[in-house]
Each structure stands twice: as structure tokens, then as C-alpha cells.
Amino acid sequence: MKTRKLGNSGPEVSALGLGCMGMSFGYGVVADKQEMISLIRKAVENGITFFDTAEVYGPYTNEELVGEALSPFRGQVVIATKFGFNIGGDTALDSRPERIRSVAEASLKRLRVEAIDLFYQHRVDPAVPIEDVAGTVKDLIKEGKVKHFGLSEAGVQAIRKAHAVQPVTALQSEYSLWWREPEKEILPTLEELGIGLVPYSPLGKGFLTGKMNENTSFAKDDFRSTVPRLSAENRKANQAFVDLLAKLAISKHATAAQVALAWLLAQKPWIVPIPGTTKLSRMIENIGSASVELTSADLKEIEIAALKIEVKGDRYSGNSAKLINR
């Protein structure tokens, strides 16, 4: 597995990470814990050194899973987790300094580590100045409890303000062939400031793999059932993206998923996608994308074709949409 450096100040990690959320949260049926521990350890054996979790996934159970699975590999892997949601509280968000500190202490125990490698603010909290958030994490770094500071789904203004207080190592935001909004302002800002990008949902929540169509049904507690872009009608309309990837995949002796990830890797050398899965075969498939070489002609072909496709449906609905890009 090739490696990449997360921004100017970040750690060196595998070119692809592993998003662990779906192993215990978000997709309906919770996967078997021992099977997921085995999957995570198989990921390490196959060269993945970057793992993503958060206290809110479960809540708490995903951090516990990741901590147990990676305990034999302490010092060999980079674990990212997040703070910022008010679990069980009256408000959705809570990034008060005292809350950040309490989350850090609890996450350290669940992850079974002495320092959190990368600590993201999960969503920008409008009730707390971003400078106070960055300052609190800066103190945690000085105390040796955190190594690197990150933001998730933050807008340019928040990124700049936070970075001025404590250098931001990475921004985690959605980015894929069918969600390219970050290219307008976010990517240029990250390049200017030397911040890495960690795209989540790099496969469009599974849609870009080609394993989903208009007839696919989601469990009622699968969060994708609430995503407007993944309604049956919009899946049918957005099939053109999958067809584009599948066409190129044939010539590359690859899969649509591998081409989608290879496209992301080709955008910038400081981009590290974190596709998630609960299946070993899919993880191995995703790892294979790091070996798919897209030429400048390939990238131009994708660009020209993609510009002709209009994406149907928003990527979030209701209250979820209000928690992004502040």
C-alpha cells in the first residue's frame, strides 16, 4: 500500500483509510463484533494504517470496537476520532471546552491509547467560537493527549479561523465524483494552508459501486433511506454516473468502485479517502484502487462526461443539512 502525508504537519498514512462507522452504526443491522475486529485486523495486514471512528457512532460502541481491534498494533496505525455532538442532550451540537476535554478523556480509554492521533470537531458549533475550540485542542496537544487537530464539514471561514490558533492537519468532508462542491473553495484553501483532505462517502454511500439501483431497498433504520439523492427516483436518474465509471473500469480491468476511488486519489497527493465496509471482499477491492492508474486522458474523459450529468437530489435532508459547512 502506498502512503500519503496528511497536509504539511500531519502523519504519514496509507493512501486509503478505513471508515469504521458502518460496523456498528447507521446501516440498520449491526455487524457481528468479532467479525468486525477480524476485518479491521485484516485491513492492517493488507497495508491500511488509517482508521476513522467517532464517539457518536453507536454511540461509543464504534470507538470501543476500533480500540479493541487495533490494540495489538499500537504505534503502527493512526486512529482518528471526533467530538462535537451532544449525545442525549437538548441540542444537537456541543463543542464547549469542558465538553471537548471530557470527550477526549473518554475516547482515550475506549481507544486504548495514550494520545488521540487525530481529533476532529465533528461539526462546527455556532454557539462556540471556533477559536475557543482550536485553543482547547491546542492545550490537549500540549498536554500530550492529542497529536493532531482536524475539522469536519467546516467552511472556509471556520477553517481559516481555527488554523490561525492551532494548525489544522486535516479536513474530513464528503467528496466524490458526484459531490464536487469542495472543489470551488475548500480544496484551494486546503492547498494554500497545507491541510490534508479526508473524503468520507467517497463511493457515494455505496451508489457509485454499481451494486445499487432503483429497486434497492433500505432497512428503515438505515440512514440512507433518508438521503434525497438515494431515493428510488433519483437513483434511476443518477445511474449515468455509475455507467460512466463502469465504462472506464472495463478498460482498466477494474471495478466501478476502484475507478471512483482512483479518481479521488488522482485529484491531489494530500487526499486520503476513507471508504467504509463490513465485507472483507469489498475492503480488498477498495485497496486495489490504489494500484489503478488513471492517465491524464482518462481524467479528461471523466471530466467531460461528468460535466454533462446533472446530479439529482440533495445529499442530506432536514436537520442533517443544517449541520454542514458553517
Active site residues: 57
Q: Are 8 and 278 in contact (CB under 8 A)?
A: no
Based on the number of CB atoms within 10 Å of its own CB, is 293 exposed (0-12), middle (13-18) or buried (19 or more)?
Answer: exposed
Residue type, 127: A
Sequence-distant (6+) residues with CB within 8 A of 211 are none
> The C-alpha cell of 140 is what?
490537549
| Rounded Cα distance, 239 and 242, in Å | 5
* Residue closest to 57 by CA, chosen among 200, 177, 168: 200
* Residue closest to 211 by CA, chosen among 255, 263, 151: 255
> The C-alpha cell of 217 is what?
431497498
Sequence-distant (6+) residues with CB within 8 A of 236 are 213, 214
Task: List the beta bridge partners of residue 171.
Answer: 151, 197
Q: Starting from the edge strand earliest in sequence, which strands make up the sheet with 50-52, in order?
A: 18-19, 50-52, 78-83, 116-121, 146-152, 168-174, 196-200
